[in-house]
Structure 1
Amino acid sequence: MRYGTSTKLGSIAKHAVLALGAVFILAPFVQMISTSLKSSQDIAQGGLNLIPREWAAVENYSQALNATPLLQYMLNGVIVTVCIFAMQVLIALPCAYALAKLRWRGRSTVFALVLMCLLIPPHAVAIPVYILLFKMGILDTYASLILPFIISVFGIFLMRQFFMTVPDDLIDAARMDGMSEFAIVWRVMAPTAVPALVAFGIFSVIAHWNDYFWPLIVLSSEELYTPPLGIATFRTAEVGYVFGPLMAAATMVIAPLVIAFLFAQRRFIEGITLTGMK
Structure 2
Amino acid sequence: MKRSRGATALLTLAAALAAISVFLPLWWVFVSSTRPGNTYVDYMAPLSWMAFVPVAGDATNYEALLSGPFLVGLFNSFLVAGLTILFGLAIAIPAGYALATMEFRGRGLVFSFVILVAMIPFDAVAIPLSGLFQGWGLTDSYAGLVLPALANGFAIFVLRQFFMGIPSELMDAAEVDGLGRFGTLWRITLPLSKPALIGAGMMLFLSQWQAYLWPLLIGTSPERQLAPIALANLSTLFTVDLGQILAGSFVLSIIPMVLLLFFQKQYTESLSTTGLKG
- Fold match, TM over 0.5? yes
Q: TM-score, normalised by structure 1?
A: 0.91
Q: CA RMSD in A?
A: 1.8
Q: Whole-Å Cα distance in 2 between the matches of residues 154 and 48 of structure 1? A: 42
Q: CA deviation at 1:75?
A: 0.9
Asked if residue 23 in structure 1 is aligned to residue 24 in structure 2, the reply is: no
2:63 equivalent in structure 1:
62
Asked if residue 161 in structure 1 is aligned to residue 153 in structure 2, the reply is: no
Q: Whole-Å Cα distance in 1 between the matches of residues 54 and 161 of structure 2? A: 48
Q: Secondary structure at the match of 1:187?
A: helix
For 1:19, the aligned partner's letter is A
Q: Secondary structure at the match of 1:39?
A: coil
Q: Secondary structure at the match of 1:275?
A: coil
1:269 equivalent in structure 2:
268
Among 4, 7, 19, which residue is 2:4 paired with? 7
For 2:4, the aligned partner's letter is T
Q: Whole-Å Cα distance in 2 between the matches of residues 128 and 245 of structure 1? A: 34
Q: Whole-Å Cα distance in 2 between the matches of residues 118 and 53 of structure 1? A: 46
The 10-residue stretch of structure 1 (117-126 or 167-176) with the greater mean CA deviation from structure 2: 117-126
Unaligned runs of 5+ in 2: none
Q: Whole-Å Cα distance in 2 between the matches of residues 72 and 88 of structure 1? A: 23
Unaligned runs of 5+ in 1: none
Q: CA deviation at 1:90?
A: 0.8
Q: Secondary structure at the match of 2:263?
A: helix
For 2:156, the aligned partner's letter is I
Contact 1:93/1:185 (8 A) holds in 2: no
Q: Secondary structure at the match of 2:178?
A: coil
Matched ranges for 1:240-255 at <5 A: 240-255=239-254
Q: Whole-Å Cα distance in 1 between the matches of residues 37 and 109 of structure 2? A: 60
Q: Whole-Å Cα distance in 1 between the matches of residues 220 and 166 of structure 2? A: 46
Q: CA deviation at 1:82?
A: 0.9
Q: CA deviation at 1:169?
A: 1.0
Give CA deviations for 1:146-180 in whole Å, capped at 9, x if unaligned: 11111111111111111110000111111012112
Q: Secondary structure at the match of 2:165?
A: coil
Contact 1:81/1:204 (8 A) holds in 2: yes
2:90 equivalent in structure 1:
90
2:172 equivalent in structure 1:
172
Matched ranges for 1:65-144 at <5 A: 65-66=66-67, 68-144=68-144
Q: Whole-Å Cα distance in 2 between the matches of residues 145 and 170 of structure 1? A: 39
Contact 1:42/1:52 (8 A) holds in 2: no
Aligned length: 272
Contact 1:42/1:54 (8 A) holds in 2: no
1:101–1:231 distance in 2 versus 1, CA, 3 Å? same
1:210 equivalent in structure 2:
210
Contact 1:212/1:228 (8 A) holds in 2: yes
Q: Whole-Å Cα distance in 2 between the matches of residues 54 and 30 of structure 1? A: 16
Q: Whole-Å Cα distance in 2 between the matches of residues 120 and 101 of structure 1? A: 26
2:226 equivalent in structure 1:
226
Give CA deviations for 1:2-41 in whole Å, capped at 9, x if unaligned: xx11111111111212221221111211001111112347
Contact 2:149/2:207 (8 A) holds in 1: no
Q: Whole-Å Cα distance in 1 between the matches of residues 37 and 141 of structure 2? A: 37
Q: CA deviation at 1:42?
A: 4.6
1:130–1:39 distance in 2 versus 1, CA, 3 Å? closer
Q: Whole-Å Cα distance in 2 between the matches of residues 244 and 41 of structure 1? A: 6
Give CA deviations for 1:201-223 in whole Å, capped at 9, x if unaligned: 22221221111111011024111
1:229–1:169 distance in 2 versus 1, CA, 3 Å? same
Contact 2:149/2:204 (8 A) holds in 1: no
Asked if residue 34 in structure 1 is aligned to residue 35 in structure 2, the reply is: no
1:148 equivalent in structure 2:
148
1:89–1:237 distance in 2 versus 1, CA, 3 Å? farther
